[in-house]
Chains A and B, each alone.
Chain A
Amino acid sequence: DAKTTQPTSMDCAEGRAANLPCNHSTISGNEYVYWYRQIHSQGPQYIIHGLKNNETNEMASLIITEDRKSSTLILPHATLRDTAVYYCIVRVADNTDKLIFGTGTRLQVFP
Chain B
Amino acid sequence: DGGITQSPKYLFRKEGQNVTLSCEQNLNHDAMYWYRQDPGQGLRLIYYSQIVNDFQKGDIAEGYSVSREKKESFPLTVTSAQKNPTAFYLCASSTRGLPSSYEQYFGPGTRLTVT
Contact = CB atoms under 8 A, between A and B. Distances in A.
Given A2-B42, A32-B99, A104-B42, A99 B109 contact: no
Interface stretch (A12-20, A21-29, A37-45, A69-77): A37-45
Contact of B109 (A32, A43, A46, A97): A43
Given A42-B108, A44-B90, A51 B41 contact: no
Interface in A39-70: 41-46, 49, 51
A105 to B, nearest CB: 11
Interface residues of B, number: 30
B33 to A, nearest CB: 8
B106 A43 contact: yes
12 contacts: A41-B109, A41-B111, A42-B109, A44-B106, A46-B104, A49-B102, A97-B50, A98-B58, A99-B104, A100-B45, A101-B42, A102-B42
